[in-house]
Amino acid sequence: MGENAISGSFETISVLLHISGDLKNIAIDTGRSETLVVCFGEMLIDFVPTVGGVSLAEAPAFKKAPGGAPANVAVGVSRLGGSSAFVGKVGDDEFGRMLAEILRLNNVDSSGMRFDHEARTALTFVTLRGDGEREFLFFRHPSADMRLLESELDKNLIQKAKIFHYGSISLIEEPCRSTQLAAMKIAKASGSLLSYDPNLRLALWPSEEAARKEIMSIWNLADVIKISEEEITFLTGGDDPYDDEVVLQKLFHPNLKLLVVSEGPNGCRYFTQEFKGKVGGVKVKAVDTTGAGDAFVSGLLNSLASDLTILNDEKKLREALLFANACGAITATERGAIPAMPTMNAVQDLLSSSRS
């Protein structure tokens, strides 16, 4: 990955011209973002029951919330004070325009976002069981995110990424599958760190076999991978997700710089070429785990974007993973994904109180 540094020089010059009466003030800001995290994939509307522990049929009402794992991560990074951008497609409809506005309000670069005039923005109904875990019902027949074309990619934006993050949902159908592969190729050639969270949603795939095959088809291209215990079991065909040897022998590849296994409230395990270990979770009262994994990823990527030496320093890595655990924990204390993404101050306050 060429030392994980962005090759080439991508300098942006923005000129702000403010005119007030006869007064003209010109402020010039030069330079590119050295910490840009570009997130590729789906953005959609989550409909979450207003009460927990009920089925879709039993829910008295639903609250709409912006969602989609890559978009969640982009907002999460920005909410923490980092620099992020989203690349994907939504419908040219009320929901799509609402999502674009949410990105803008959260200081996420949406210049790579496209609008489909034929397909609608994707909708997902998310049920919250008594323990706060989720069940999904998707409306994508097809949805706009599935129709992103390679010709619609903002290549210049992707080339500026210090980290290029993506999932597997865009691999389910063409043309978005080929578009994701093309975007990954652009990022790789530009020296971006490739970050992969499979975010398994079996209900969206035609079969388990198809899901396993496609998720693994791009496995060896990633520099950083985040997976859950359930995803380990699925991808290995039923092996013990808590056995480190299973992870190392079946999921860790020679070019991988970091593999993280998220374990919800129990924290996470980490594996690199040189060391492995576990970082405990941060205890909170969970209300809704929607977006908690994405918040974890955003916390980790925000740290990596600021300091890639974390990958080679176990002490720094453990601190970054504890920070990421706290990001996920805070998100689980509120309903919805994007609305619950934490600020830097909130994470630092939680970590301070948990240490005292």
User: Would 8 be classed as within a structural domain?
Assistant: no
pLDDT at position 320 = 98
pLDDT at position 12 = 33
User: Would 19 be classed as within a structural domain?
Assistant: no
Torsion of the alpha carbons at 262, 263, 266 and 270, rounded to the nearest 10 = -40
Total domain count for the chain? 1
Which two structure tokens, joined as six digits, stand for 48?
Answer: 């979450």
Residue 311 near residue 317 (C-beta atoms within 8 A): yes
pLDDT at position 190 = 97
Residue 297's domain comprises 35-41+67-117+147-343
Per-residue pLDDT of the chain (356 residues; tens, 9 = 90+): 443 433 333 333 332 323 233 333 333 332 335 899 999 999 999 898 888 788 888 889 998 989 899 999 999 999 999 999 999 999 999 999 999 999 999 999 999 999 999 999 999 998 876 665 667 899 998 999 999 999 999 999 999 999 999 999 999 999 999 999 999 999 999 999 999 999 999 989 999 999 999 999 999 999 999 999 999 999 999 999 999 999 999 999 999 999 999 999 999 999 999 999 999 999 999 887 888 999 999 999 999 999 999 999 999 999 999 999 999 999 999 877 888 999 999 999 999 998 86
pLDDT at position 324 = 98
User: Would 141 be classed as within a structural domain?
Assistant: no
Burial 179-211 (b: 16+ CB within 10 A, else e): bbbbbbebbbebbbbbbbbbbbbeebbeeeeeb
pLDDT at position 61 = 93
| pTM for the structure as a whole | 0.88
pLDDT at position 58 = 86
User: Would 212 be classed as within a structural domain?
Assistant: yes
User: Would 356 be classed as within a structural domain?
Assistant: no
User: Would 57 be classed as within a structural domain?
Assistant: no
Q: Which CATH number goes with the domain that contains 81? A: 3.40.1190.20
User: Would 283 be classed as within a structural domain?
Assistant: yes
pLDDT at position 134 = 67
User: Would 324 be classed as within a structural domain?
Assistant: yes
